[in-house]
């Protein structure tokens, strides 16, 4: 059941991406021939509003086929009034950007609904205390609750970690232990650890781990909007940074995941509850938006790049250049997908 939910979630995210393209194309007067979820042989289709709506056998993406646009053959063009090619570069860019934009907007609304339901936030409850660490030397123990640091009230583990990382000098902690308040003083120690990209980094730490206790965060209307905005921006920034580190080699290529990883992680989120599904769906939606903006021919970002070139130079790229770049784009795209699939299979095999 959880795997079915994960496939439905992925299909829904693809649907919203393509819906963005579809609505923008119709708004610009472009005829949309096919709206497909998945690639390959069609298993189900119907015609409505002049468009064939289809579900295909390979659920690895989707596409909106507009009149005059064919990624498999960029030389096939039509300059009829309702054709993609008859529109200005700015109009075409709007159509192309609308897909990723739909993913960012969907992520925002998902985070908004998560905020309304009271997102689960990690509480500042101490789990493991590292031997000979500043925390152990100061007398901190498992299940201690950190209430204040330097007079600043602490409500979440994230708040506590940020204060520790940016602190100067010693810290004054107010903790709750067995219903009683105690005060401790310690000095963070610069320690080597791993960040979210599994890079070795140096950061100030006091030598404690989270107990894994969480609580619901109560938010008012303005805080709900702020939470949705911050989470969408954070997810986008995290994914952009991760891609940059993959390209520069700071993050090994073996960390790249493919569609199997996405389905597996969504399935795990399903087992953890619907709130986790919404949170992970928002993250994947942002992921789709970011990836499709990469300047790779065959992706939205590649087509946007061609249109920006035309806007700047007042000339379209030659057919020979378009064909070569499109082929190169498909090679890069299938190479990335293949690497992700290879890594997924290796993880499954242990």
Determine whether 18 is an active site residue: yes
Q: How far apart are CA 81 and CA 87, in angstroms?
A: 8
Q: How far apart are CA 304 and CA 306, in angstroms?
A: 5
| Spacing of C-alpha 6 from chain mean position | 16
pLDDT tens, the chain, 350 aa long: 667 777 788 888 999 999 999 999 999 999 999 999 988 888 888 999 999 999 988 777 888 999 988 766 666 777 888 999 899 999 999 999 999 999 999 999 999 988 888 777 888 999 999 999 999 999 999 999 999 999 999 988 989 999 999 888 899 999 999 999 999 999 999 988 877 777 788 889 999 998 887 777 777 877 888 889 999 998 888 888 877 877 777 777 777 766 666 666 666 666 667 777 888 889 889 988 998 998 888 789 988 988 998 889 888 877 777 778 778 877 877 787 777 777 777 777 76
Question: Taking a C-beta distance cutoff of 8 angstroms, is the pair 114, 47 a contact?
Answer: no
Instruction: Report angle CA 80, 85, 88 to the nearest 5 degrees.
Output: 110
Strand partners, 173: 149, 184
Query: Which pLDDT does position 337 carry in this prediction?
Result: 75
* Cβ atoms within 10 Å, residue 337: 15
The whole model's pTM is what?
Answer: 0.79
3-state SS track over the chain: CHHHHHHHHHHHHHHHHHHHHHHHHHHCCCCEEEEEEEEEEEEEEEEECCEEEEEEEEEEEEEEEECCCCCCCCCCCCCCCCCHHHCCHHHHHHHHHHHHHHHHHHHHHHHHHHHHCCCEEECCEEEEECCCCHHHHHCCCCCCEEEEECCEECCCHHHHHHHHHCCCCCEEEEEEECCEEEEEEECCEEEEEECCCCCEEEEEECCEEECCCEEECCCCHHHHHHHHHHHHHHHHHHHHHHHHHHHHCCCCHHHCCCHHHHHHHHHHHHHHCHHHHHHHHHHHHHHHHHHHCCCCCCCHHHHHHHHHHHHHHCCCCCHHHHHHHHHHHHHHHHHHHHHHHHHHHHHHCC
Query: Which pLDDT does position 291 carry in this prediction?
Result: 87
Of the candidates 169, 226, 164, 171, the one whose C-alpha atom is nearest the C-alpha of residue 191 is 164
- Label the pairing between strands 32-48 and 180-186: unpaired
Q: Check 18, 182, 194, 255 and give the catalytic one.
A: 18
CA distances from 157 to 111, 134, 341 (A): 20, 18, 35
Query: Which pLDDT does position 294 carry in this prediction?
Result: 86
Query: Which pLDDT does position 71 carry in this prediction?
Result: 67
């Amino acid at each position: 059941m959880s795997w079915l939910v994960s496939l439905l979630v992925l299909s829904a995210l693809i649907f919203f991406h393509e819906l963005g393209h579809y609505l923008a194309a119709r708004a610009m007067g472009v005829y949309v021939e096919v709206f497909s979820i998945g690639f390959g042989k069609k298993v189900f289709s119907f015609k409505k509003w002049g468009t064939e709506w289809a579900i295909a056998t390979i659920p690895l993406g989707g596409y909106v086929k507009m009149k005059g646009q064919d990624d498999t053959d960029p030389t096939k063009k039509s300059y009829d009034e309702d054709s993609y090619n008859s529109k200005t570069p700015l109009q075409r860019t709007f159509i192309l950007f609308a897909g990723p934009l739909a993913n960012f907007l969907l992520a925002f609304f998902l985070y908004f609904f998560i905020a309304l339901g009271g997102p689960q936030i990690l509480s500042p409850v101490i789990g493991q205390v590292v031997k000979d660490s500043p925390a152990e030397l100061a007398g901190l123990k498992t299940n201690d609750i950190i209430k204040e640091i330097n007079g600043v009230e602490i409500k979440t583990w994230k708040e506590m970690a940020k204060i520790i990382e940016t602190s100067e000098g010693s810290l004054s902690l107010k903790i709750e232990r067995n219903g009683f308040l105690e005060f401790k003083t310690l000095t963070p120690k610069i320690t080597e650890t791993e960040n979210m990209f599994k890079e070795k980094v140096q950061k100030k730490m006091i030598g404690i781990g989270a107990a894994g206790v969480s609580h619901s965060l109560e938010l008012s209307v303005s805080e709900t909007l702020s939470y949705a905005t911050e989470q969408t921006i954070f997810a986008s920034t995290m994914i952009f940074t991760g891609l940059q580190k993959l390209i520069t080699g700071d993050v090994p290529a073996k960390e790249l995941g493919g569609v199997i990883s996405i389905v597996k992680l969504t399935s795990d989120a399903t087992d953890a509850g619907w709130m986790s599904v919404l949170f992970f769906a928002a993250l994947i939606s942002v992921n789709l938006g970011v990836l499709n903006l990469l300047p790779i021919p065959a992706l939205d970002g590649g087509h946007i790049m061609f249109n920006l070139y035309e806007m700047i130079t007042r000339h379209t790229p030659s057919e020979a250049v378009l064909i070569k770049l499109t082929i190169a784009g498909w090679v890069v795209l299938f190479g990335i997908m293949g690497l992700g699939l290879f890594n997924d299979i290796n993880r499954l095999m242990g």
